[in-house]
Amino acid sequence: MFAVAVKLVALDIDGTVIPPAGYGQVRLPSERLTAAVRECLDAGIQVVLASGRMFPGTAQIARHFGLTGPLICQQGCSVHLLDGRITHEFPVNEKTALDVIGFAREANYAYEWFNPLRYIASKQSITTDHYGVVSGIQPEYRPDPENSGIAPTGVGIISSSAEANRIHQELSRRHAHELHILDFPEVTVAVSLDANKGHALSLVCEDFGIARDEVIAVGDSVNDASMLAWAGRGIAMAHADSYALDASDEVLPGEPDVLEQLLERLAAGSSLARRAGGR
């Protein structure tokens, strides 16, 4: 199936490993997907989670799978070991972050201010509460998150699906040369240019001594686009947004258990190659 042996698979969580969940729900991967991931591990393929979630919510899924390697969290703002230690972190320039939330305050939008350990929003909403649930953290609420005393790895403007794209365009006009800006349906997130899943994945692979053409990445959203573009083979889910689709090399069919089937084939091919090499 693949010309080069696959040594690492990077998986997004929400929308990829786990179908999109409703408000306040925490879901675990299916039994078949869990078994397929473990087959990959047994076959010598590294599996790395790369998520928009903060560390606790990402680690929950990693432990469910039995993973022991690094975790890419919060859109690539930080890379953690399973015990919580941070190996890579990409803070955003605080002056620029203040300019972004200044725009939010002028336009009367709620906003978020976060680092790898804390998530603080100016106003409680379904969007902020849901992020706290899937991330396994308790969101903090105060009218001035920027005065919380933490140096941010990112900020976000909370709006609506009707307004988010316009906000994305305005922030891109102002800060495209210094910020990586993510256009989610209800939140526009601004982080350091280095804070993206593709860059974080490249650092993880460098640590493992794995070349990019030995890597497959699978995702479905704007925050997956950078790792889909970086990986030797970027694969988008059938329901992926336009950013992920444009960055991918191929799109999985929209059928049940399609990710499970992909991982099972990879594991079987790797096991066969290892047996052949041992003869």
- C-alpha distances in angstroms, 66 versus 76, 199, 236? 21, 24, 24
Q: What is the pLDDT of residue 26?
A: 76
Which strands make up the sheet holding 78-80, listed edge to edge? 71-73, 78-80, 86-89
pLDDT digit string, tens, across residues 96-145:
999 999 999 999 999 999 999 999 999 999 999 999 999 999 999 999 99
**Whole-model pTM over 0.95:** no
Domain ranges of the chain: 8-89+196-277, 94-192
Which of the residues in the chain have pLDDT under 70? 1-4, 21-25, 271-279
- Nearest partner of 197 among 160, 175, 228, 234, judged by Cα: 228
- C-alpha distances in angstroms, 228 versus 144, 235, 249? 36, 7, 8
Q: In what helix (H) or strand (E) does residue 34 lie, and over which residues does it extend?
A: helix 31-42
Look up tokens 């990112």; give the residue: 154
CATH of domain 94-192: 3.30.1240.10
- C-alpha distances in angstroms, 62 versus 71, 163, 225, 237? 8, 34, 21, 20
Q: What is 8-89+196-277's CATH number, 3.40.50.970, 3.40.50.11540, 3.40.50.360, 3.40.50.1000?
A: 3.40.50.1000
Q: What is the pLDDT of residue 3?
A: 56
